[in-house]
Amino acid sequence: MMTPRPSSHIAWLVAALAFACASTPRPQVLVIEIDPLTPVELFELHRLRDNGWFGSIIALGNVPDSLRRSLGIEIIFPRSPAASLLRETISNLPFDAKTTRLPVLRG
């Protein structure tokens, strides 16, 4: 029997508001594992974009093309990459502004 994953939509709401309302400089990169997200969490991720956050999204896992287009996901790793590959990918993104470090949210 599989134990259901606790819902983290409240954490998502907090994260969406933090990204959308962050003072300048805003965070410019979001790395997110797509596969375990619930429909509510995907909705909150879309709200993040709707609230004016246009940073780069790096998605881990299986990302349908329609979701990639609707969220403007730039980079997809079909499975979790090695930490060094992820670090290299982020360092090669085209931005120069410093960002504010936000806490990591875990479900």
What are the pLDDT tens digits along the chain (107 aa)?
Answer: 333 344 455 565 566 666 666 666 777 788 888 888 888 888 888 888 888 888 888 888 889 999 999 999 989 988 777 777 877 888 888 766 565 666 676 65
pTM: 0.65
The ranges assigned to domains in the chain are 26-91
Going edge to edge, which strands form the sheet with 56-60?
29-33, 56-60, 75-77
Report whether 53 contacts 61 (CB < 8 A): no
